[in-house]
Amino acid sequence: MLDLLYRLARPVLFRLDPEDAHHLVLRGAAVCPDALARLLGPRLPQGLETQVAGLNLPTPIGLAAGLDKEAQAVPLWAHLGFGFVEVGTVTPKPQPGNPRPRVHRLPEHRALINSMGFPSDGAEGMAARLQRLRDARRWPATPVGVNLGKNKDTPADQAHEDYRLLAQKFRGLADYLVVNVSSPNTPGLRELQSPDALARITGTVVQEAPDLPVFVKLSPDLEESAIGQAVETVLGVGVQGLIATNTTVSRPVPSQQKGGLSGAPLHALALGRVQAVLDAVSGRVPVIGVGGIDTVPKAADLLARGCAAVQIYTGFIYEGPGLPARLAWGLADGSAG
């Protein structure tokens, strides 16, 4: 039912500016009653339950950060078949992000390029929404994580204080936290993947949220030699998992648009970087694989390589709301569809 509705709506949505279409869909999702979402939602297979860093996931298919930036539709995602959800990126203070247009579709490549720059209504706004869900007992059974980022105007040597504030704000609300130092759209952010900065930031978050799993999201544009160093740095301060990868500034397909590329063309690069992270981690903590996952074989391959779970975003935009359930059923029955 949902896929049919999406196929009917997609031509109209794809004629809109990508960001306008995104907000339109999220506003609709935000007001969708839980009972209707349950009715429209798919049936999921049994036997895919897994545990990642102490989190109980009904399926290993997660929603990556960026789709629900402001935590507007948190209860809906579980009804669509996601086994866990990541909202954000959220920054301490509200900020508008980069000038529009800042999201571009490459439909012939099933890709997106975004230069959003962490638009956010700030920690207070998101925390209030999450608190209302908890107070109303609408918090989903599937884990909900919050992706954390620094404000654009925060100097690099003070970045850890932004992450400290965010960890304090969300440690009583989120089920897990993700340190994002890998987006290409905030000037200087990726420089925080250097060992000293990374240790200071991640150590601060772990210290401030000792009861929550803390993950770090790495860039696909890190050289393989730097990946091992980054992994050892974050494991040394107690991080409980890695997410690989974020968007890329490389251009595996022709485009002059600036920003981070996601979707199918990212997959080959992401696969190599995910494998490098898996090799560096060597089973010590779970790794969540991300990057161009839009079919069962791609998801199954990452899980077979040793990923504890996977996340999707751009594939969801192109393939529709039935994708998480299709992936789950394909994994359950061994399908290569």
Condensed to tens digits (0 to 9), the pLDDT of residues 40-91 reads: 678 889 999 999 999 999 999 999 999 999 999 999 999 999 999 999 999 9
- What is the β-pairing status of strands 84-90 and 50-52? unpaired
Average pLDDT of span 216-224:
92
- Phi first, then psi: give them for residue 292, nearest 5 degrees: 70, 25
**Domains defined for the chain, CATH in brackets:** 2-333 (3.20.20.70)
Checking phi first, is residue 68 left (phi over 0); if not, alpha (psi -120 to 50) or beta? Answer: beta
Amino acid present at 62: G
Active site residues: 183
Residue 336 has pLDDT above 50, yes or no: no
* 233 vs 199: CA distance, rounded Å: 6
pLDDT attached to residue 337 = 43
pLDDT class for 1, splitting at 50, 70, 90?
low
All residues at 6 or more sequence positions from 331 whose CB lies less than 8 Å from its CB, including other chains: 45, 48, 59, 60, 61, 296, 299, 300, 303
What's the whole-model pTM score? 0.95
Rounded to 5°, the CA angle 54-168-219 comes to 65
* 126 vs 149: CA distance, rounded Å: 13
* 33 vs 35: CA distance, rounded Å: 5
Residue 208 has pLDDT above 80, yes or no: yes
The overall average pLDDT reported for the chain is: 93
